[in-house]
Amino acid sequence: MIFGIDRLLSEPELLAALKGRRVALVAHPASVTADLTHSIDALIGAGVTITAAFGPQHGMKGDLQDNMMESPDYRDPVHGFPVFSLYGEVRRPKPEWMETFDVVLIDLQDLGCRIYTFITTLLYVLEASAEHGKEVWVLDRPNPAGRPVEGTTLVAGWESFVGAGPMPMRHGLTLGELGHWFIDHFKLKVAYRVIEMQGYDPEAGPGFGWPLGERAWINPSPNAPNLSMARAYPGTVMVEGATISEGRGTTRPLELFGAPDIDARAVIAEMKAFAPEWVKGCVLREMWFEPTFHKHVGQLCSGVQIHVEGPHYDHAEFRPWRIQALGFKAIRRLYPDYDLWRDFPYEYAFGKLPIDVINGGPALREWVDDPNSTAADLDAVAGPDEAAWVETRKAYLIY
């Protein structure tokens, strides 16, 4: 499998299209070539004139752990060009920043989940580039979650930095494909080009689009340490809106959930009893953990780990969004008065519960909290949304 950055560097006609132009790069720590050279160094080494760079959430260096931890602007200590933060004082490029380049390359490893903010950054860069007459190239990379689609569609009025548009939680597109959808959906007039991957087959196991054994996994954000996390994330990210822990402060963040005051064994049993059809494709294992930071720091937590590797994983059957919804439902059924939902300004969305911001509307929370709701009720809401997105995205599939 050849990623977009490696095609750009190896094909003279692609490099020639950048000759004599001022080039900016949107990148993070996972923006590397096949030999693990950072894209900035590789592009400059190939003769590309880099005049600016942009860092998304968690920073160009990928050093900031949590949400709403802002990165500063700075100058690249090796090459001297400015590095502008798209997760600091602003999240949209400033007009003066847009004057520092002619074409912007976006080389971000995404996770295939609507809430992962790199796709919102893509939209904001496309919008700014349309306004200022700049050209945008996406150097495409795999979607490690593959093609499956899951979750309710974001409801109009619930747009946020974790909700760029009306798509489900697990969208099943690459960043390059998403760019085409953004341009069409938001009717943007912008020069846009995708440097496509070669050999990308999101339906082929065992990696289902991720080149297992061919490419090193580099964290695109601090709590995205492996392929298992990327697969579970469209569900476990919802725990950021709950009082239980998503495993931050452990070595397996966003592959598990738990708290000091729940019984994980009982939770798993309740999940399997309530919706056995939703827990296929993975193994739910009772475990224990003690976070070194974040929620429940220093407390022993009873937890559920979601195993999605090796023989435990069925790509077609695994439904992480439903599994996590089911985890919440099991806790609510076992502990009806449990203080489950956090209330704070999540990703700059003020006056709304984080769980609703994450889901792009209140439907999931209302389903969890309704003592009479069934698995079929949530399927009745999500199923039509998922089917509609599968049809909508057909026009934008490149691979």
Annotate 166-190 with DSSP letters as a single string.
Answer: S--SB----HHHHHHHHHHHTT---
- pLDDT > 70: what percent of the chain? 98
In the chain, what is the greatest distance between 2 CA atoms, to the nearest angstrom? 65
**Strand bridging mode 301-307 / 283-289:** antiparallel
pLDDT band at residue 215 using 50, 70 and 90 as cut-offs: very high
Collapsed DSSP state (helix, strand, coil) of residue 31:
coil
**Strand bridging mode 301-307 / 256-259:** antiparallel
pLDDT band at residue 351 using 50, 70 and 90 as cut-offs: confident
pLDDT band at residue 348 using 50, 70 and 90 as cut-offs: confident
pLDDT band at residue 347 using 50, 70 and 90 as cut-offs: confident
Task: Give the DSSP per-residue string, 331-395.
Answer: HHHHSTT---B--S-BTTBTTS-HHHHHHTSSHHHHHHH-TT--HHHHHHHHHHHHHHHHHHHGG
Across residues 54-76, what is the average pLDDT? Answer: 76
Question: What are the CA-CA distances from residue 58 to residues 28, 106, 176, 220, 221 (Å)?
Answer: 8, 16, 21, 9, 6
pLDDT at 27 over 70: yes
Read off the tokens for 120: 């919102």
Helix H or strand E encompassing 273: helix 264-274
- Topology annotation, domain 4-221: Rossmann fold (3.40.50)
Contacts of 312 (CB under 8 A, 6+ apart): 282, 283
Torsion, Cα of 210, 216, 218, 224 (10° steps): 50
pLDDT at 65 over 60: no
pLDDT at 119 over 70: yes
Residue 267's nearest CA partner among 313, 312, 329 is 329
* Span of 86-90, 130-134, 148-152 with lowest mean pLDDT: 86-90
Whether 325 and 367 have beta carbons less than 8 Å apart is answered as yes
Please report the pLDDT score of residue 68 as a whole number: 59
Please report the pLDDT score of residue 89 as a whole number: 84
Please report the pLDDT score of residue 63 as a whole number: 62
Across residues 366-381, what is the average pLDDT? Answer: 98
pLDDT band at residue 88 using 50, 70 and 90 as cut-offs: confident
DSSP state of 1: -
Whole-model pTM?
0.95
In angstroms, what is the C-alpha Rg of the chain?
21
Helix H or strand E encompassing 128: helix 118-132
Across residues 61-90, what is the average pLDDT? Answer: 81
Helix H or strand E encompassing 195: strand 191-195
Residue 55's nearest CA partner among 33, 82, 79 is 82
- Rounded Cα gap, residues 355 and 363, in angstroms: 10
Count CB-CB contacts under 10 A for residue 297.
12
DSSP bridge partners of 26 = 54, 106
DSSP state of 71: P
pLDDT at 71 over 80: no
Domain residue ranges in the chain: 4-221, 227-389
pLDDT, averaged across the chain: 95
What single-letter amino acid sits at 64? L
Please give the class, per CATH, of domain 227-389: alpha beta
- Rounded Cα gap, residues 205 and 211, in angstroms: 10
Count CB-CB contacts under 10 A for residue 101.
24
* Span of 81-90, 248-257, 352-361 with lowest mean pLDDT: 81-90
pLDDT band at residue 349 using 50, 70 and 90 as cut-offs: confident
Give me the helix-helix angle, 320-334 and 375-393, nearest 10°. 160
Q: Could you tell me how many helices (H) and strands (E) the chain has, helices first? A: 12, 10
Peptide bond into 56 cis (omega under 30): no
Across residues 169-180, what is the average pLDDT? Answer: 98
Sign of the dihedral defined by the CA atoms of residues 292, 295, 298, 302, in that order: negative
pLDDT band at residue 47 using 50, 70 and 90 as cut-offs: very high
